[in-house]
Amino acid sequence: MDLEPLAVRVWGEYACFTRPDMKVERVSYAVPPPSGARGMLEAIFWKPEFHWVVLETRVHRPIGYASFLRNEVQSKAAYSTARSWAESDGHFVAMENRTQRHTLALADVAYTIVAQVALRQGVDEHPAKYRDQFRRRVQRGQCHTQPYLGCREFAAYFGPADPGEPCIAESMDLGPMLYDLDYSREARAAPVFFPARLERGVVRYPAPEEVGLCF
């Protein structure tokens, strides 16, 4: 069944789609990877009966960067540890567990994400049911959780796409880009990459089966 793809416009002050090959410092991809784009769609609307297949991202503002140096703690907070503090009068001193990390983020971004709803195996519903729900939520500005542009502190605003909004004229090779994590082959998730290219402001993503993934 060939249905017209769905589209939503997202924008924000900053974005950081972290490259996994940068181990210490956070460095953003120039455009959202498929997993990042899908995360924004799922924040607006998601049901277990379907998954999102992202087709392309259109870039509407020039690609620019902003550099941040931030203080962060080195260890994750654990509920069991915090609970033990209440019983033993323990505490956590952030100054003793602090490190500085550099972030190279994108500044002043605006995208149109184009995607399709793909029903999961065994689901008998018609895709129009979920497509219409998504359109209504976008029109009303409703979401399950606040969408974000790569990092949770970089909130994404969203609204209906404008088919006539121009893309930037830039074209370039983006190199290997993370498509998603494959949980089917190994005990641990295996990253799957694909050669990405920006062509006159549009990056197109391969279908999941083209990179060996099955959702």
pLDDT of residue 74: 66
Point out the least confidently predicted range of 9-13, 18-22, 81-85, 98-102.
81-85
pTM here is 0.86
pLDDT of residue 101: 81
pLDDT of residue 77: 64
pLDDT tens sequence across 20-46: 887 778 899 999 999 999 999 999 999
Count the alpha carbons within 13 Å of 42 in the hemisphere toward its beta carbon. Answer: 16
CA distance 51 to 58: 21
pLDDT tens sequence across 119-168: 998 888 899 999 999 999 999 999 999 999 999 999 999 999 999 999 99
pLDDT of residue 187: 65
pLDDT of residue 131: 95
- Residue with the bigger pLDDT between 93 and 106: it is 106
- Residue with the bigger pLDDT between 11 and 86: it is 11
pLDDT of residue 76: 67
Average pLDDT, the chain: 89
Residue 158 · residue 45 · CB < 8 Å: no
pLDDT of residue 189: 79
The structure tokens 């994590």 sit at 181
Paired with 158 in beta bridges are 10
Checking if the pLDDT of 182 tops 60, the result is yes
Checking if the pLDDT of 1 tops 60, the result is no
| Nearest partner of 62 among 146, 140, 170, judged by Cα | 170
pLDDT of residue 121: 87
pLDDT of residue 157: 97
Paired with 101 in beta bridges are 70
Sequence-ordered alpha helix ranges (H) in the chain: 34-44, 79-88, 127-140
- Residue with the bigger pLDDT between 80 and 56: it is 56
